[in-house]
Amino acid sequence: MAQHTPLYATHVAAGARMVDFAGWDMPVNYGSQIEEHHAARRDAGMFDVSHMLALDLAGADAKAFLRGLIANDVAKLVEPGKALYSCMLNPDGGVIDDLIVYFLSDTSYRIVVNAGTADKDVAWIQQRLASTGTQATLTVRRDLAMIAVQGPNARTKTWAAIPGSEAASNTLKPFQAAAFGDFFIARTGYTGEDGFELTLPSEQAAATWNALAAAGVAPCGLGARDTLRLEAGMALYGNDMDESVSPLDAGLAWTVDLKDPNRDFVGKAALVANGARRQVLGLVLEDKGVLRSHQKVFTAQGEGETTSGTFSPTLEKSIAMARLPLGVAPGDSVEVDIRGKRLKARVVKASFVRNGKGLI
């Protein structure tokens, strides 16, 4: 039986089209997916992301444990509320999950993991805690809801909807969070736009959602969230990386920190031994058609594959992220197998739209 977020009844009452996503009943849209996409690009849209899971790690060894658990280095986090994006790897260097870690103190961190991998992630972390004898406790926070408010007017409308929140969050820099009463307000997102991700007690979720709607924030579903994140060149677990793919081959080398030769982490030896064998670049289709995931790409350097693809509402072009051979570069022409036909595409950097503006 599918799980329900604290906002399930709110979505159903609003007429949302509900679909199964990673075992959760989630809204894919409330009407026009294109209009929801444009709302987040041009004004403000909100997304129920309560299916994702917050984990609190606390204890004397919390920092040392995380330095060995993930590929990025939490030692660079020194300012309370500062966030870090990273991948958690298996010993072969494959990605168990991509996640965000928030620094609260040297002995306290919040980790946000993906819905589809949440149970696996918790089991892996608990196993690592036990096997390393770490003095730290992991608390699973299913008592919390999460709402992402995204778009050029997202912060202003959030402040209007949640009285007093402006004073607590108006000085936040990107990838930084602050507490406001029961709320945890993070200036993060998955759309390529400014905004907040709000973590709050489940029982306050519906009232907060309705207050945001009254302030002019448009409810948006998973469909718009996917086209927005792909336009921004943001990876999706299960499409753009998984346990068989190294972050070095998934366009996520920037999330791997190898600066400290004395820091070891799970998967490090495999990354160092194998290096990068593929690269992630963007594609813009020049013929008529639609790029989707897992389509074969033909280049002068050999074959590659699209990992995520869609029609971009902002650019009005079909775009994709693709894992390609080393040596392919932006500006190159390639061909993509779409339903048995080789269609022409142009290689670009794997970021198509940011802050409402096209980059290609």
Could you report the per-residue pLDDT of 134-191, keeping only the tens digit for each? 999 999 999 999 999 999 999 999 999 999 999 999 999 999 999 999 999 999 999 9
Task: Please tell me the predicted confidence (pLDDT) of residue 220.
Answer: 98
Task: Please tell me the predicted confidence (pLDDT) of residue 174.
Answer: 97
Name the domain count of the chain: 1
Residue 323 forms part of a structural domain: yes
Helix pair 33-42, 222-231: axis angle to 10 deg? 50
User: pTM of the full predicted structure?
Assistant: 0.96
- Domain of residue 354, CATH code: 2.40.30.110
Residue 282 forms part of a structural domain: yes
Q: Which of 272, 279, 196 is nearest to 245 (CA)?
A: 279
Strand partners, 75: none
Residue 313 forms part of a structural domain: yes
Residue 205 forms part of a structural domain: no
Task: Please tell me the predicted confidence (pLDDT) of residue 258.
Answer: 97
Q: Confidence class of residue 207 from pLDDT cuts 50, 70 and 90?
A: very high
Residue 60 forms part of a structural domain: no
DSSP line for 3-21: B--TTHHHHHHTT-EEEEE
Cα atoms in the Cβ-side hemisphere of radius 13 Å centred on 59: 15
Residue 323, domain extent: 277-358
Task: Please tell me the predicted confidence (pLDDT) of residue 357.
Answer: 87
Strand partners, 309: 320
Residue 297 forms part of a structural domain: yes
Residue 344 forms part of a structural domain: yes
Report the distance separating Cα 279 and Cα 247, nearest Å: 10
Q: Confidence class of residue 1 from pLDDT cuts 50, 70 and 90?
A: confident
Asked if pLDDT for residue 235 goes beyond 90, the answer is yes
Residue 182 forms part of a structural domain: no
